[in-house]
């Protein structure tokens, strides 16, 4: 199987869907002539031309709302946010319009739109550019939220998201763009709402999403090496819909649960999952569900300290030991 980067996997997904469906259009700041601020869309303008690959002005509320209006007619816009942090200037369009139009029209109108872009810290760009809004997005019924952590999932989930008839918020990570992995050529779909067990284990379930769950794999190595602890590592991949069954089955097996994520702790996805576990697998727990998040403050700029504000392999390792106490 070919080994490609997360960045290339996203590009392949868009390329294949552009070729498959004439209603798919890629839009965003610098996606065309500039070849993408993070080069995700590199080469697509040359291949598909300016009708399908559209540079927008810096005008998120305008162009996201515009894409949404076009989606009501059956166009399938894939909108790139250069940083997903910029969603805040389009909040009304995303959460009042995209999330609610189907509902308020009594199901008469669909909005098949994808909003994608990197939503992460760790790149020394300060608090304004480092938001992790997955729990804010998933709070809104009507939208779906996806967070791929590997190249193979980036491709499979993006293709599924583009074909989805509901609005999908697709959160990437700039620190993963250069990561490589095996990705099938051609048709490869990962259904939204299916978690993936990255490693099987019997002693503790480390559950999470995004880049942090990849760090958890390294923490799992350390746990095995130093403590002979066998951690099961579960990547949610999709926040809404949520694969409750896989989460609960893992916890019922290991009896211990730790949720890891880059987001801040208050009302995070981990808070939601911890709540679900205590409600539906309480009798299987041998201890409290723990969570590991970024240190609860705006993203600090200072490069060496920002690394430590985010979850690290060492902090995940330590949190796992705390969970097992």
Partner 1 sequence: MSKKLSPAKKSDEAAGYNARQAHINARLGNDELIALYRDMMRIRRFEERCLRSYQQGKIGGFLHLYIGQESVAIGCVSVMGDDDHIITAYRDHGHGLAVGMGMNEMMAENYGKYTGCSKGKGGSMHYFDPSRNFWGGHGIVGGQIPLGVGLAYGLKYQGRKGACLAFMGDGAVNQGAVHESYNLAALWSLPVIFVIENNGYSMGTSQERSSAGPSLAQRAEGYGMNWDIVENGHDVLEVRDKVSQALKLAHEKSLPSILEIRTYRYRGHSVADPDTTYRHKNEIEEYKSTKDPLMVFQKAMLAEKVLTEEIIAKIDESARAEAETSAQFAEASPYPTVEDVQKDVYWEADNPADRKSQGTLFFN
Residues forming the site for partner 1 (CB under 8 A) = 23, 25, 51, 56-57, 59, 61-75, 92-93, 96-97, 101-110, 141-142, 144, 160, 163-166, 189, 191-195, 238, 240-245, 272
Tokens of 29: 């700041």
CB-nearer residue toward partner 1: 272 or 295: 272
Query: Looking up tokens 């779909």, which residue turns up?
Result: 189
Can 129 be counted among the known catalytic residues? yes
> What is the Cα gyration radius of the chain?
19
CB of 73 to partner 1, least distance (A): 4
Are the C-beta atoms of 316 and 324 separated by less than 8 Å? no
CB of 192 to partner 1, least distance (A): 4
CB-nearer residue toward partner 1: 144 or 155: 144
The C-alpha atoms of residue 120 and residue 133 are separated, in whole angstroms, by 9
CB-nearer residue toward partner 1: 82 or 319: 82
Q: At what angle do helices 6-20 and 151-163 cross, to 10 degrees?
A: 30
CB of 177 to partner 1, least distance (A): 25
CB of 36 to partner 1, least distance (A): 20
Pairing verdict, β 24-28 and 204-208: unpaired
Q: Other C-beta atoms within 10 Å of 249: how many? A: 17
Can 12 be counted among the known catalytic residues? no
DSSP 232: E
The C-alpha atoms of residue 231 and residue 126 are separated, in whole angstroms, by 33
CB-nearer residue toward partner 1: 51 or 325: 51
Catalytic residue among 8, 17, 29, 60: 60
Known catalytic residues are 60, 129
């Amino acid at each position: 199987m070919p080994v490609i980067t997360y960045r290339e996997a996203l590009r392949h997904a868009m390329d294949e869907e552009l070729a498959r469906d004439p209603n798919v259009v890629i839009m965003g700041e610098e996606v065309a002539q500039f070849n993408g601020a993070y080069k995700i869309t590199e080469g697509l303008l040359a291949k598909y031309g300016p009708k399908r690959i559209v540079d927008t002005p810096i005008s998120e509320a305008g162009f996201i709302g515009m894409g949404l209006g076009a989606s009501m007619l059956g166009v399938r816009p894939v909108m790139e946010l250069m940083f997903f942090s910029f969603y805040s200037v389009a909040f009304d369009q995303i959460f009042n319009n995209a999330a609610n139009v189907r509902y308020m029209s009594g199901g008469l109108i669909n909005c098949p739109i994808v909003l994608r872009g990197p939503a992460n810290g760790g790149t020394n760009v300060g608090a304004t550019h480092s938001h992790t809004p997955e729990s804010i997005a998933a709070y809104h019924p009507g939208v779906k939220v996806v967070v791929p952590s590997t190249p193979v999932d980036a491709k499979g989930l993006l293709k599924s998201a583009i074909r989805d008839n509901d609005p999908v918020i697709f959160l990437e990570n700039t620190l993963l763009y250069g990561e490589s992995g095996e990705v099938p050529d051609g048709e490869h779909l990962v259904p939204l709402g299916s978690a993936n067990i990255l490693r099987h284990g019997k002693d503790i379930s480390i559950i999470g999403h995004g880049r942090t769950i990849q760090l958890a794999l390294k923490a799992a190595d350390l746990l095995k090496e130093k403590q002979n602890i066998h951690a099961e590592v579960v990547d949610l991949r999709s926040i809404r819909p949520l694969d409750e069954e896989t989460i609960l089955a893992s916890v019922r097996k290991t009896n211990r649960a730790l949720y890891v994520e880059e987001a801040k702790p208050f009302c995070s996805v981990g808070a939601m999952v911890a709540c679900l576990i205590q409600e539906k697998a309480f009798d299987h727990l041998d201890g409290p569900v723990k969570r590991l998040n970024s240190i609860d403050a705006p993203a600090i700029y200072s490069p060496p300290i920002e690394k430590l504000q985010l979850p690290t392999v060492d902090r995940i390792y330590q949190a796992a030991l705390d969970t097992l106490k």
